Structure 1
């Protein structure tokens, strides 16, 4: 679960979230209750058959900004698909719903995923959001299956040490990791802290994401570039 709290955010239970007050609307800004955003996404996920595994919520100290992450049980493998949420009562950012294999939602406003909805707080926002959410979540099953096929390919290919070294340097050149993390990725690949199987692109992918844990909020594009590096390795191995 990747909900980063280091800029004043405080974890909060869902029940406490429902008790937070919502500011009165103005002509140009119609706040949507934080819990209402969660409820809409929960409903759409359940309607389209996605099983919610766990959820984490946070708000800023004044309760005006909300951040959340929901994880979905994957029927395809040993990982979770993620849904990230954010909402603001003070016009700091629009309503955001992000969906991907791993989502990073941070109280410093970093927000990244494979598919992102952003909706301003207008008079029609509450009316339109359920349809927008459904439009993204309805095809989510297909996206999750495609991701599973990608990970199966990562797991199926043997990765020579020379190519692993080249891939780690490609991560550095492409801005996935900085120079101080090169050794960390190599160490996690050579001596895995978890069972990621034999030396494959999957093991290297996990070594990199393990090293990036807690740092991606500052560089949210890193996960997309990491996939590009690992996909390139796989193409060379096929």
Structure 2
């Protein structure tokens, strides 16, 4: 999952919530308990409503075209929420499978709406195997009791970065450090610097640590590897002391 869009590959395609309802869940066995895709989505939305979050956008994807024997075998989703602020919101991502290729999972992060970009990914992340007693649905509900507090702390840290100025020399050193520590490839150093000095969004023109972070995340929009995006977000959290 990347930014506010799903990275679709290996035959996956954009879907609606109604499409998810048409996917037939395989029969369970004594050791395998598949979860209906739509039940995960319903649990996320109901739990979010209980936590006082308002849905801004829903994005879903399925693997395997209709009439294919593997139609809907894997499901991916992102739901963006607003919490009353103009700059930030929350995003929850989740996945599920009916073909034993991956475990069910859920993660969450803060979103910066002005550039439609995740500031960080996976501030909360959990996975569960499809086995009896995995309690994944309960995990979703419990996650939303923890998320508001965790994401409030993240938002405070992002606000702190907004007022922390940074010189060009220190910004260059931080970009260089990012390359040395493998957060970005050395070939990405100049693009990140150019984005920082001439940002895509004029709101990020001031020389602050937050705007430098946005220059990193803006370049991540062009990544086509979900694993690469997730790893980079996590390393950026350490780099910017979040």
Please state which band the TM-score falls in when normalised by the shorter chain.
Answer: 0.7 to 0.9
Q: Give 1:153's aligned residue.
A: 160
Alignment of 1:139-218 (within 5 A): 139-194=146-201, 195-215=203-223, 217-218=226-227
Q: Secondary structure at the match of 2:10?
A: coil
Q: Give 2:48's aligned residue.
A: 45
CA distance in 1, matches of 2:162, 2:86: 11
**5+ residue gaps in structure 1?**
103-111, 233-238
Distance 1:38-1:114 versus aligned 2 partners, 3 A rule: same
Q: How many residues align?
A: 221
Q: Mean Cα displacement is larger for which, 26-35 or 198-207?
A: 26-35
Q: In the alignment, is residue 6 of structure 1 matched against residue 16 of structure 2?
A: no
| TM-score between both structures, scaled by the size of structure 1 | 0.87
Alpha-carbon distance, 1:76 to partner = 4.2
Alpha-carbon distance, 1:227 to partner = 2.0
Alpha-carbon distance, 1:213 to partner = 1.3
Alpha-carbon distance, 1:23 to partner = 1.0
CA distance in 2, matches of 1:6, 1:59: 10
Residues 67 and 86 in structure 1, CA contact (< 8 A), matched pair in contact too: yes
Distance 1:26-1:214 versus aligned 2 partners, 3 A rule: farther
Match of 1:131 among 132, 138, 163: 138
Q: Secondary structure at the match of 1:152?
A: helix
Superposed CA RMSD:
1.7
Q: Secondary structure at the match of 1:198?
A: coil
Q: Secondary structure at the match of 1:138?
A: helix
Residues 30 and 123 in structure 1, CA contact (< 8 A), matched pair in contact too: yes
CA distance in 2, matches of 1:214, 1:114: 22
Moved over 6 A (4+): none
CA distance in 2, matches of 1:77, 1:162: 31
Alpha-carbon distance, 1:224 to partner = 1.6
| TM-score between both structures, scaled by the size of structure 2 | 0.85
Residues 103 and 129 in structure 2, CA contact (< 8 A), matched pair in contact too: yes
**5+ residue gaps in structure 2?**
65-69, 112-120
